Structure 1
């Protein structure tokens, strides 16, 4: 080792966790630790089981590289070819201004990634948390959790919702260790987007997560929670793709890096099984949290309305044109036909069938097929579930702040609109990574974009520190929300027409319809 390398190692921060000491690195004024195990590798006898404590180590473990992603299908947020390999999927990463216990510990934000519950990992460049840690002078933690078959398939011999149990274990790690990194275990905010927001919403209803966080941010909550019957049927279909039964004994015979192929194969066939799987079939996503009665006893809306989140402060919202991302990625922008719009309205409209179609065509008489196709799926999948989470929180005696992002992504001359996922590069300031690379494209990152990005980081980190993002709590009289645009403003909820369409409709667990 050279003299320079000795000097660099001597200045690198070392923190002792419950399982052993870790050495991070100093990066532009922050101490950063990557790839710290919060649980043992979930392989061998531990495969498909609840997470187990990490194996302690001697000496100082180098924490300078992200842990390997959990096994998953390929995807935009999935691991690239340079991703590390190995079985230590369950790791956390920490960004902290000062990695020492403090008399005035900093607030902590814990990020849960999205990816349809089937892809994603905390090492994605789009989740680089340095800007958040600096903006809020706080500690940021990102975590890996099992996705797809490993994390969410409902199989015999395994607990349901293993991905959620991983998240609970990571939050327990934060509770037990974050003070050593300068964080306050009594001021933890969990935040996530898409499936990450669905996980946040679920954690509000998971009994074993109670007390592990006092604030929650849910960005674009998907309304898809599965009934136990639906989840078991989908798991049986996935296993059948591999010629197996939906049991631990059978599925454990397949390498975890190969098994995602069965989920991907089923996804390609799901759209043809509307008769059996209903609204979940067109989503081509056979994974979601399961309302199993134990890990997740009821839906998040039921739990919050009953007061489960009364002691948790909530920030929740969505983007104005959520579904446009999926329309664009399918090559359907400007190409949606009347028949396709009709099918979507009848599948996803409130009440379903002709009533669902009629409701939207009456409420939006000037809308063409493309707008109707996009709007009903934005509303069903993200808008209304997100708003209902705030309404359930208020009904249960808690407090919620609501936002809507309306600023359009700059790529393709704004054709993406304020689509799904745009909030990620804005919040993290990662305009050229992952979804940011798609939604910003080759467009200049303007001062307008940077100002909105700064506003969002300021609001999110202020909420993590104080519970107040800077605008009034939502109530069912004024319905005030923060509209995030070039000139952010507080005004009544912009999607009032859709809200009225859905106000008499619940979001129960998605059912199994039959053979």
Structure 2
């Protein structure tokens, strides 16, 4: 369930020789002119928001793979965020959790409204002033950040009989990467230095792409926060082998007949009616499908075959991931929550790292331990799932009170480390004092006494891969 709550997928891009247009808010791309803006609250940042990177997946294009949107004659007024892809608002979820209004008010993690099926857009933040070299795409005035929308639930992973592609949401992400590679140079970015960054289901998705496109990953490195492709299959892969869930949605909306007829009929239904049905039927689940092309059932075998992108990766988890859910901290029983965290998040991070190590891939490991009151309310204390994100983005003070001076130090340090990795995925962190897993070390981030503390990997991983009841 938790992996359905946070599906952050970001792209970080890097830096080389570059020439920005004389009119930096008018950027010519392969898809036409993009018109951006500068907000007075951030006068050193150019913003290009709501940029379509493929054709809208609406009407007859619902449940089709993303298709390039080349229309050089059109200009895009990129001054407002695009709408979010259809999702079930977390405020409707139970039990209470830190991401809902009744679970501490931390609604900043998830959009409340403004959904649309016409949602496949991306956003670009770039320095306002030209640089002598092309930038990695990620923080400060020395990188570019791109965020990419993608389809989820039944729209992104329909698992419907009669469809050729079931993992549309992952193909959306790949299409976003392809757009960035083709066009980021016009914004001052270096297409040869792109770093993918995902959290939770976004991290799992970024890792999936390492295998699906291992011979052309586009990225030169990835940051995987709280998730890898080895996460327990029960929460990351569909078990609906009979494809009953899609058929049930079709039947309940009056779309009967053979599979092709169901699909054609449902393409005429409003996305609101489909999403409303999912919200009322929690048993209807739509997750990635193991098709042996985009998603695999056995990633250990993929490693053994060498069918994985040979790029450096940061893999991290949070100390108390599942403190975000009331059901896993009954009566404040954090030890139970942590046992489940270790057996899922931490165990699969350790297994992924060891598999990567066996095939000679550079991996940097961390655990985030930050516990700051403006992020972690008393009901959900500690470094829960997603608690690191406001510090990485430098927005912690915009939540529920100002950051402490030490919290600001931790935030800046995390941003510096992520940027060091984006600038040089292979050696940037090593130069910053963070050795790779192969040296026998990992780091604790945001601990009580120091932002970065090096520890022996055995302190982090030993004994975590044990069975635990998830109830």
The alignment's TM-score, normalised by the length of structure 2, stands at 0.78
Partner of 1:252: 267
Tell me, yes or no, if the aligned pair for 2:120 and 2:149 is still in contact at 8 Å.
Answer: yes
1:13 equivalenced with 2:7 (yes/no):
no
Partner of 2:160: 155
1:492 equivalenced with 2:450 (yes/no):
no
Alpha-carbon offset, residue 60 of structure 1: 3.1
Q: Distance in 2 between matches of 1:153 and 1:181?
A: 35
Tell me, yes or no, if the aligned pair for 1:95 and 1:141 is still in contact at 8 Å.
Answer: yes
Moved more, 179-188 or 385-394: 385-394
Q: Distance in 2 between matches of 1:220 and 1:335?
A: 25
Q: Secondary structure at the match of 1:412?
A: coil
1:412 equivalenced with 2:377 (yes/no):
yes
Q: Distance in 2 between matches of 1:192 and 1:316?
A: 10
Partner of 1:283: none
The alpha-carbon distance between structure 1 residues 395 and 266, as it changes in their structure 2 partners (threshold 3 A), is farther
| Deviations 1:100-133, CA, capped at 9 Å, x for gaps | 6x76211124xxxxxxxxxxxxxxxxxxxxxx24
1:478 equivalenced with 2:443 (yes/no):
no
Alpha-carbon offset, residue 244 of structure 1: 4.8
Tell me, yes or no, if the aligned pair for 1:304 and 1:389 is still in contact at 8 Å.
Answer: no
Instruction: Map 1:307-456; keep pairs closer than 5 Å.
Output: 307-309=306-308, 311-327=310-326, 333-335=329-331, 370-410=333-373, 411-413=376-378, 415-431=380-396, 437=399, 441-442=400-401, 444-456=402-414
Instruction: Map 1:19-168; keep pairs closer than 5 Å.
Output: 19-27=31-39, 28-56=43-71, 58-75=73-90, 76=107, 77-81=109-113, 83=114, 87-98=117-128, 104-109=133-138, 132-134=139-141, 137-158=142-163, 159-168=165-174
Q: Distance in 2 between matches of 1:95 and 1:456?
A: 19
User: Aligned residues, how many?
Assistant: 407
Alpha-carbon offset, residue 230 of structure 1: 4.4
Where do 5+ consecutive residues of structure 2 fail to align? 1-21, 91-106
The alignment's TM-score, normalised by the length of structure 1, stands at 0.72
Q: Secondary structure at the match of 1:184?
A: coil
Alpha-carbon offset, residue 226 of structure 1: 1.5
Q: Secondary structure at the match of 2:191?
A: strand
Partner of 1:173: 179
Q: Secondary structure at the match of 1:258?
A: helix
The alpha-carbon distance between structure 1 residues 24 and 466, as it changes in their structure 2 partners (threshold 3 A), is same
Partner of 2:103: none
| Deviations 1:352-403, CA, capped at 9 Å, x for gaps | xxxxxxxxxxxxxxxxxx2343123313432222222222211222110000
Q: Distance in 2 between matches of 1:192 and 1:231?
A: 30
Tell me, yes or no, if the aligned pair for 1:309 and 1:396 is still in contact at 8 Å.
Answer: no
Partner of 2:93: none
User: Which of 210, 213, 217 is matched with 2:219 structurally?
Assistant: 213
Where do 5+ consecutive residues of structure 1 fail to align? 1-9, 110-131, 271-285, 337-369, 506-515
The alpha-carbon distance between structure 1 residues 153 and 108, as it changes in their structure 2 partners (threshold 3 A), is same
Q: Secondary structure at the match of 2:389?
A: helix
The alpha-carbon distance between structure 1 residues 303 and 479, as it changes in their structure 2 partners (threshold 3 A), is farther
The alpha-carbon distance between structure 1 residues 62 and 250, as it changes in their structure 2 partners (threshold 3 A), is same
Partner of 1:458: 416
| Deviations 1:420-443, CA, capped at 9 Å, x for gaps | 01111110012256xxx3xxx34x
Alpha-carbon offset, residue 483 of structure 1: 4.0
Alpha-carbon offset, residue 202 of structure 1: 0.9
Alpha-carbon offset, residue 231 of structure 1: 8.1
Tell me, yes or no, if the aligned pair for 1:319 and 1:404 is still in contact at 8 Å.
Answer: yes
Partner of 2:102: none
Alpha-carbon offset, residue 462 of structure 1: 0.4
Q: Secondary structure at the match of 1:190?
A: strand
Alpha-carbon offset, residue 251 of structure 1: 2.8
Moved more, 246-255 or 177-186: 246-255
| Deviations 1:26-47, CA, capped at 9 Å, x for gaps | 2421111111110010011211
1:226 equivalenced with 2:237 (yes/no):
yes
